[in-house]
Structure 1
Amino acid sequence: MITIDHMNFELVENYRDAFDEKVFIEKYSELLNKYDYIVGDVGYEKLRLAGFYKNSKRKVEPDKRVNAIEEYLNEYCNFGCAYFILRKVSKQELKEQAEKSVPEPTEEVNEEAGS
């Protein structure tokens, strides 16, 4: 889990080990807060970031939806470049994950021999 500007992200893909948290934090801009996915590609040792929305967002241009990421990588990035994809994790998802990670209390059953 990566946290920046009170936003939480999950690393979905890390092709050719492109993700470097320190470099990402330095390059990150609050303009990216509105996106559901962030793609980072590395070319000539420079990180470039692009934002994409969930496919379910209807008032968004098709080339800015998550299903256009592969086309973006093929059309606008250097062939075979290292890249990563981050997905924004909602507060609701964080809450659900926290609830799942808390172990439920278990009752210990003491069986005594001869009972």
Structure 2
Amino acid sequence: MIQIGGRSYELIQNYKNAWDAEAFKQRYSEVLDRYDYILGDWGYEKLRLKGFLRDNHPKANRDTAFSGITDYINEYCNFGCAYFVLQKTKDARDNKEHKEHKEPREQKGSTKASASPSPENASEQL
């Protein structure tokens, strides 16, 4: 399990022993937070990172869907290069934070609805 940027990842593929935790931490950017998978490939002793979405994600297309990762490796990576693939994992903490952020919004919305005059509230007051 890899933890970075408040997210947890699992190493699901490590071709030619490409995984290097220190190099990954140095290259990681918050832009990658939105992706479900991260591909890291080595070329000329430099690590490149690319994000991919799960296949059923609404914004996934041929170039960003996980099912296209093999095509990406064959077309854009150096032939036979070492690479790794990380998959974002869901943990209880992420789900708890998501619910905590969601609940106050719902409470505010319901408070505004009851405080604002509506035809139903007006008839009850009469």
- Asked if Structure 1 and Structure 2 have the same fold, meaning a TM-score greater than 0.5 normalized by the shorter chain, the answer is yes
How far apart, CA to CA, are the structure 2 residues paired with 1:83 and 1:24?
Answer: 12
How far apart, CA to CA, are the structure 1 residues paired with 2:28 and 2:47?
Answer: 10
Larger radius of gyration: 2
Is residue 2:9 matched to residue 1:9?
yes
Q: Equivalent pairs: percent with the same residue?
A: 49
- Count residues with an aligned counterpart: 95
CA offset at residue 26 of structure 1?
0.6
TM-score, length-scaled by structure 1: 0.78
Unpaired runs of at least 5, structure 1: 96-115
1:46-79 deviations in Å (ceiling 9; x for gaps): 0000000000113322210000000000000000
Q: Please report the RMSD computed on the Cα atoms of aligned residues, expressed in angstroms.
A: 1.7
How far apart, CA to CA, are the structure 1 residues paired with 2:52 and 2:18?
Answer: 18
Unpaired runs of at least 5, structure 2: 96-126
How far apart, CA to CA, are the structure 2 residues paired with 1:7 and 1:59?
Answer: 20
Is residue 2:88 matched to residue 1:91?
no
How far apart, CA to CA, are the structure 2 residues paired with 1:63 and 1:79?
Answer: 19
Q: What is the match of residue 74 of structure 1? A: 74
Give the partner amino acid of 1:66: F
TM-score, length-scaled by structure 2: 0.71
1:56-111 deviations in Å (ceiling 9; x for gaps): 1133222100000000000000000000000000125x89xxxxxxxxxxxxxxxx
Q: What is the match of residue 38 of structure 2? A: 38
